[in-house]
């Protein structure tokens, strides 16, 4: 959203901080995804609920026909409550507790993405105890390093996620031998906030090598799930308000065989751009060499800058004064409660509305009540 298009009159009556969601932009994004995959009826795009489980957004995403990708029993529940058809739900996670597996079995979800042989055995015995057959895929650790923040890469060999690719054949044989599971295919994910398409191309090559090898060994691979990870341009939300879905999906169209169904699990690229954390300037403090804009949102509302040194574009929506450099900091009792250092903002005054952009993914969903701060509510465009 461009600076002039935020409804500041409406904001005047609201307590800050809050998350503001541009549901029109979300719709344009969902439409763009649909357009990119409409020539592949066997492909299914799932929305990674971890990125944002706000029920209003979930309902809009269900209505667009996406499935859900969940990583906990709570997310499976949230997806079901929002109306995702159980069959469209895939469930990954290295530490699924028994109650979570049972909940997913009872709901009849579409797929368990299994991350270890030990987990496979537990799913098989819980399914057997209910007289059910659990549909499973094996999550493979593809051992591919993606170009992204160190804290959010997941595909390297020494990583808690997935089964090492050299050991997949053995676990697949185990799955095929279990009568209470139906072995369906393989699941991958190499990391998040990936902007370089060659990373996804490397994943495709790994998938093709592995599926060929397994099929030659007599293990049929009905479908593959390539995970998520498509990044967005945090620095330029106004020029590039949408992720590059064309480049992303065309990489997979080019490199994976058209005959095999493919599942995608996109989170950030769907919801990040449509969300803005709206906060107000409480105080402007002149330091020795720095000038601080102290705002009423903190790291408990949006932890990405403190946790990953992630940078979000920050704008002053209220001022047209000259630009000055500010350290934009929150009120939490932590030195890492900083949204950005040396950020050029139009001169700040107490009460100005500050927009922290591209905060729709991993913002509200990772918020906490640290320092007994209330959770920031969500406000939607009309």
Question: Would you tell me which residues interact with ligand LLP (CB under 6 A)?
Answer: 48, 51, 69, 92, 152, 154, 189, 192-193, 227-230, 265-269, 304, 308, 362
Least separation in angstroms between CB 84 and ligand LLP: 15
CA angle (151, 195, 338) in 5-degree steps = 45
Cβ-based nearer residue to ligand LLP, 127 or 243: 243
Q: What is the smallest separation between the CB atom of 300 and ligand LLP, expressed in angstroms?
A: 14
Residue 339: phi and psi, rounded to 5, are -90, -25
The CA-based dihedral angle spanning residues 36, 40, 42, 44, taken in that order and rounded to the nearest 10 degrees: 0
Nearest distance, CB of residue 27 and ligand LLP, angstroms: 19
Give the residue with the Cβ less far from ligand LLP, 171 or 272: 272
Closer to ligand LLP at the Cβ: 230 or 345?
230
At its nearest, how many Å lie between ligand LLP and the CB of residue 229?
A: 4
Nearer Cβ to ligand LLP (22/265): 265
- Kind plus residue range of the DSSP H or E element containing 105: helix 98-107
CB-wise, 27 or 159, nearer to ligand LLP? 159
Query: What is the rounded CA–CA span in Å between residue 156 and residue 301?
Result: 30
Question: What does R_g of the chain's alpha carbons equal in angstroms?
Answer: 22
Nearer CB in complex with ligand LLP: 17/305: 305
Residue 132: how many CB atoms within 10 A of its CB?
A: 14
Task: Give me the least distance between CB of 191 and ligand LLP, in Å please.
Answer: 7
Query: Taking the CB of residue 232, how many other CB atoms lie within 10 A of it?
Result: 23
Q: Measured between alpha carbons, how far is 304 from 51 in angstroms, rounded to an integer?
A: 12
Tokens of 367: 């918020």
Residue 283 CB, nearest approach to ligand LLP (Å): 28
**Secondary structure tally for the chain: helices H, strands E:** 11, 17
CB 121 within 8 A of CB 94: no
Helix (H, G, I), strand (E, B) or coil at 128: helix
Q: Which is nearer to ligand LLP, 11 or 308 (by Cβ)?
A: 308
> What does DSSP assign to residue 51?
G
C-alpha separations of 253 from 60, 278, 320 in Å: 27, 39, 46
Answer yes or no: are the C-beta atoms of 268 and 339 closer than 8 Å: no
Rounded CA separation 306/290 (Å): 19
Closest approach of Cβ 270 to ligand LLP, in Å? 8
CB of 162 to ligand LLP, least distance (A): 9
Query: Quick one: 280 or 304, whose CB is closer to ligand LLP?
Result: 304
């Amino acid at each position: 959203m461009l600076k002039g298009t935020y409804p500041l009159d409406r904001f005047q009556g609201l307590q800050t901080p809050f998350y503001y969601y541009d549901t029109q932009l979300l719709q344009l994004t969902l439409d763009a995804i649909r357009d990119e995959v409409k020539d592949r009826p066997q492909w299914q795009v799932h929305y990674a609920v971890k990125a944002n489980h706000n029920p209003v957004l979930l309902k809009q995403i269900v209505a667009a026909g996406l499935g859900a990708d969940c990583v906990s029993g709570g997310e499976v529940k949230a997806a079901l409550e929002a109306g995702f058809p159980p069959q469209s739900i895939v469930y990954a996670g290295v530490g699924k507790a028994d109650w979570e597996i049972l909940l997913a079995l009872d709901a009849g979800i579409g797929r368990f993405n299994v991350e270890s042989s030990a987990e496979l055995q537990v799913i098989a015995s819980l399914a057997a105890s209910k007289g059910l057959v659990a549909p499973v895929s094996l999550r493979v650790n593809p051992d591919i390093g993606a170009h992204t923040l160190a804290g959010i890469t997941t595909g390297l060999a020494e990583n808690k996620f997935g089964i090492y690719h050299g050991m997949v054949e053995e676990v697949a044989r185990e799955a095929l031998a279990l009568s209470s599971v139906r072995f369906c295919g393989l699941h991958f994910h190499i990391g998040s906030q990936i902007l370089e398409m060659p990373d996804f191309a490397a994943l495709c090559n790994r998938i093709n090598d592995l599926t060929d090898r397994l099929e030659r060994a007599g293990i049929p691979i009905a479908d593959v799930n390539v995970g998520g990870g498509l990044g967005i341009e945090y620095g330029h939300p106004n020029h590039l308000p949408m992720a590059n879905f064309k480049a992303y999906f065309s990489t997979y169209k080019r490199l994976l065989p058209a005959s095999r169904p493919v599942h995608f699990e996109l989170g950030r690229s769907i919801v990040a751009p449509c969300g803005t954390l709206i906060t107000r300037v409480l105080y402007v403090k002149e330091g020795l060499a720095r000038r601080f804009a102290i705002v009423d949102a903190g790291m408990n509302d949006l932890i990405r800058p403190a946790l990953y040194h992630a940078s979000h574009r920050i704008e002053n929506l209220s001022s047209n004064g000259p630009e000055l450099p500010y350290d934009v900091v929150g009120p939490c009792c932590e030195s890492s409660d900083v949204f950005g250092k040396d950020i050029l903002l139009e001169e700040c005054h107490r009460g100005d509305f500050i927009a922290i952009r591209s905060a729709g993914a991993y913002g509200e969903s990772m918020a906490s009540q640290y320092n007994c701060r209330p959770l920031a509510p969500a406000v939607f465009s009309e």
